[in-house]
Structure formats: C-alpha cells, structure tokens
Amino acid sequence: MDNENEFNYSVDQKFKQTKPPKKSGFGRTVFVPFLAGIVGASLTVGVCFKVPEVRKFLIGEESKTSYSAPKIENSKKPSDTGSTISADFMSFSQSSTQVAKTVLPSIVGIEIKYNVSSFFGNSEAKATGSGVIISEDGYIITNNHVVSTETSSSSFYTITEAKGLTVKLYGDDKEYEAEIIGTDAYTDLAVIKIDATGLTPAVLGDSDHLEVGEFVLAMGNPLDMDFTVTSGIVSAVNREVSASDGTSYSAIQTDAAINSGNSGGALVNLKGEVIGINNLKLSGEGIEGIGFAIPINSTTDVVNQLIEFKSVKRPYIGVTGQGIDESITEIYGLPAGVSIREVEKDSPADKAGLQKGDIITKIEGKEVSTVTELNKVKYTYKIGDTVTLTILRNGQEQEIKLTLGEEPVQEGEDKTEEEISTEKEEAKKDNSNSGSRGSTDFPSSIWDLFR
C-alpha cells in the first residue's frame, strides 16, 4: 500500500525486539509472547486506523482528513490570474498600437482663418479641428462647427466669414487648400474636400451594436497637437445631449480625452473601425472625462446628401412654434405640446388646415412638448410620408392628416425654441409694457386661444 514505508517505520520504532530470556518456562516462553502479540496487534490496528489510506482499505470509509493539495492549487491561482491579466493588457496595448498605426493615416488636421475687427484694429485669428478621410479622392467628414463660416460679433469684436480653410495629412507637412462641400447645423456635420488622390479612407464600423465598457480610442488634433491618440471606454450609448447653441444630439458618451481641436476627429474601436465623430465635451469645475461623439451610423445618409446635394433634404411641416412645458401646464392648466405661432402660406401645415393657436400634442401617437421633440419624430419620416397630428383647438382634441413636404433651403423650416428666442424676448417686452399679461413670455397665440 501507499503508506507501507511509513507504517513499517512506525512499527519498527515502537516495537523493538526484546533480548532472549536466560531462563525458559511456560509463562515466559508461551504466555508472555502470546500476550505481547495481542497487545502488539491491537496497537498495530489502532495505528493503521489513524492512517487514512489504510483506514479506507480496511473498512472502505472515506477519509475526512484535509489534504494539502487543494491549498497548493489555490496558492497558484493568484499567480495564474496575474499572468492572464498581464497577457490581456499586453494584448490590449498591442491592439491599440496597431489600431493607431492603421487609422491615423485617415485622420486630418483642419485650420480655418478669420478676420477679426475690434477697437484695436483688424487682425487675423485661426481655429483648429480634425476630420476623417472617407474617400481616396479627398472627401473628408468633420463637424459643422469646425468649418462654420458664419459671421459673429459682440460688443468688443466682429469675426467675419472665414477666409481660408487648409488641411494637413498624417505624415505630410504640406498644407492642402480645402473646399466646403456642404454643412448641416442640425446634425453638426460637414463635408470638405481637398485636391488629392491615393488617400487612406477610414473603415466605418457599426455604432448600433456598441456596448457600454467597450474600449475606444479618440484621434484628432487637440490644442494644435497634431495627430494625438487618447483611450477610454464607451461610457454610455444613446445619450441625449445639447450643445451650447441648443442643438440636441443622441450621442456616444466616452471618457477618452476629448479637447478643443478634437472636434471632427474619430472615435475608434479596437477593430480599427470608426464608430463615431467626436463633437462635444463637458467642461467646468468638478467635471472630468465626459465627452461625446456622433454615432457613425447616423452620419452616412447626411454625408451622402451633403456630397450629392450640398445640403440635407428633410421633411417639414411649415410652422413656427413654441413648446409648452410642465411649468406652464401646472400654472395655467394648459396641455403639454407645441403651440403654433405662425403657419406658412402654402406649406404642408397650411394645406392640412393647421391654424395659429393650435397646440400639437402628438405626432403619430408620440407625445411632444417642445419643437425639438416634434422635429425629432418628424425626421424619422421621409418627404411625402403622411403623418397624423393630434391637436387641441378651442379646447377640443382632433386629429389631422398631414403630408410632409421638402424643407425649403434657408427658409420655412419648423423653428426650434432657440431660433425664436428673440421673438420671445420681444413678446415679453410687449407684455410688460401693456401691463395686461404681467411678465409672462407666452406667445400671443396662447392668449388668443384662451381669451
């Protein structure tokens, strides 16, 4: 048996032979040895039962004695886990390195120059951003706010329209003059083009299947630091955020560092696929690691239209309205919805019979309380689609069928609350001056409705 040596050792140590007696007799020669044998056998069996293997062999009983083997196994686990973790991080490092090498040639730096007029005279200023190459012949996607050429001003200065747009390629010191193909403020997307061929277009991924916790890399040109790569994870998907100009987005949230100049750059997965276009970050005291990117799946139709039409064709209703939120409904008992302030002549709204003072409460059964919400639902349909609007007119609810038209360029769009903020301020002044409505900023249509 396995413990035979140990067993023999115990017997040899405990039971030593006695010296032969000098005298013989029955007691000494027979009885004493016989008694000694019984005692020895009893002790031997007792010892055997103390040895687990022997006990199991003799009576078939499982041993309850603890073994050291499991402890040895457990003691190895931390070492094995550490090795696995080290291997995983090594693999991640190698993957991110390879992804950077693969994708950086598809990233560009963008510089736009402006003329600035102030009390101190005229000067030139510049802004920087990033972009992603989407074709071999020079088409590049970026953010609208990166290449916006609108004039802006304050009490101290005026920034005129942009006077120059240049692009720098990865590993190339040459600056390329760029042309703006099309811009779309609603999605904050733009397409520009440079005169070059043989470029490396980025591989686009599938942003619809992103998972929270997935590793990502942000690539761009933050703070004029060309072709920088930062890493992080997907912190959230389908995050509703609003830019400083009031534009709302459904975005990918990430903790990968996104700074000024990263706008228009790429958010990339570890397969080397672009899954988002970086466009926003939260900043302020106590805020760290909250950036946003436009999901790449939501950009494809917009980009294709910008290239083909230089603008995005969207359905429209043909009204100017203001949202009625909970604060107003609680005070005045009005229903939540969008109050129509103006109906454009010959628009789909006009043809469907919508009137000034109507309150749109639902579109296709979905409740809305702001123009932004109304537009968001509307933009899920195509030009020519017929939708059902639920409205409240003179206290009575009714449904109206409306066929969506094509949104006219630069006019006739269904305006957001931000776009009518000036009108609201003017209305507030009028109300205050008249004294009849206190300091409220209700549109006149609501007051007309409830006179």
- Domain identity same for 320 and 434: yes
Say yes or no to pLDDT of 432 above 50: no
Question: Which residue, 257, 279, 309, sits at the end of a domain?
Answer: 309
Mean pLDDT of 378-387: 93
Mean pLDDT of 345-362: 94
- Looking at residue 359, which CATH number applies to its domain? 2.30.42.10
Higher-confidence residue of 11 and 251: namely 251
Say yes or no to pLDDT of 152 above 80: no
Q: What is the pLDDT of residue 441?
A: 38
Identify the top-confidence range among 60-64, 114-118, 160-164.
114-118
Q: What is the pLDDT of residue 395?
A: 86
CA-nearest of 128, 358, 365 to 263 is 128
Q: Would 72 be classed as within a structural domain?
A: no
Q: Would 88 be classed as within a structural domain?
A: no
Please give the residue range of the domain that contains residue 172. 104-194
- Domain identity same for 371 and 352: yes
> What are the structure tokens assigned to 362, written together?
């639902």
Q: Would 81 be classed as within a structural domain?
A: no
Report the first-to-last Cα separation within the chain, whole angstroms: 106
Q: What is the pLDDT of residue 42?
A: 60
Least confident of 58-72, 83-97, 278-292: 58-72
- Domain identity same for 109 and 14: no
- Domain identity same for 370 and 444: yes
Name the residues annotated as catalytic: 145, 188, 263
- Domain identity same for 130 and 171: yes
Rounded to an integer, what distance in angstroms lies between the CA atom of residue 111 and that of residue 124? 13
Q: Would 91 be classed as within a structural domain?
A: no
Cα-based angle 377, 380, 384 (whole degrees, multiple of 5): 110
- Domain identity same for 388 and 405: yes
Q: What is the pLDDT of residue 392?
A: 92
Per-residue pLDDT tens for 207-218? 999 999 999 999
- Domain identity same for 321 and 445: yes
Mean pLDDT of 391-396: 91
Number of domains making up the chain: 4
Beta strands 396-403; 386-393: pairing state:
antiparallel
Q: Would 78 be classed as within a structural domain?
A: no
Sequential DSSP letters for 158-223: EE----EEEEEETT---EEEEEEEEEETTTTEEEEEES--S--PPPB--GGG--TT-EEEEEE-GG
Per-residue pLDDT tens for 323-348? 988 778 888 778 889 999 999 999 99
- Domain identity same for 300 and 401: no
Higher-confidence residue of 398 and 226: namely 398
CA 151 to the chain's CA centroid = 32
Q: Would 360 be classed as within a structural domain?
A: yes
Mean pLDDT of 105-112: 94
Say yes or no to pLDDT of 106 above 70: yes
Q: What is the pLDDT of residue 260?
A: 83
- Domain identity same for 172 and 144: yes
Rounded to an integer, what distance in angstroms lies between the CA atom of residue 162 and that of residue 147? 8
Burial (CB count <10 Å: 0-12, 13-18, 19+), residue 307: middle
Question: Which residue, 267, 287, 309, sits at the end of a domain?
Answer: 309
Least confident of 7-11, 38-42, 323-327: 7-11
Give yes or no for a contact between 106 and 200, defined as CB atoms under 8 angstroms apart.
yes
Say yes or no to pLDDT of 20 above 70: no
Q: What is the pLDDT of residue 332?
A: 78
Q: Would 182 be classed as within a structural domain?
A: yes
Higher-confidence residue of 294 and 44: namely 294
Give yes or no for a contact between 308 and 353, defined as CB atoms under 8 angstroms apart.
no
Q: Would 347 be classed as within a structural domain?
A: yes
Question: Which residue, 309, 341, 362, sits at the end of a domain?
Answer: 309
- The answer for residues whose C-beta is within 8 angstroms of residue 209's C-beta and 6 or more apart is none
- Domain identity same for 236 and 347: no
Query: Residue 302: pLDDT band by 50, 70, 90 thresholds?
Result: very high
Q: What is the pLDDT of residue 138?
A: 95
Mean pLDDT of 219-244: 87
- Domain identity same for 301 and 344: no
Q: What is the pLDDT of residue 125?
A: 78
- Domain identity same for 334 and 439: yes
Beta-carbon count within 10 A of 300 CB: 12
Strands (E) located in 221-290: 228-242, 248-254, 266-269, 274-281
Tokens 């403020």, residue? 185
Rounded to an integer, what distance in angstroms lies between the CA atom of residue 130 and that of residue 225? 11
- Looking at residue 236, which CATH number applies to its domain? 2.40.10.10
Q: What is the pLDDT of residue 18?
A: 37
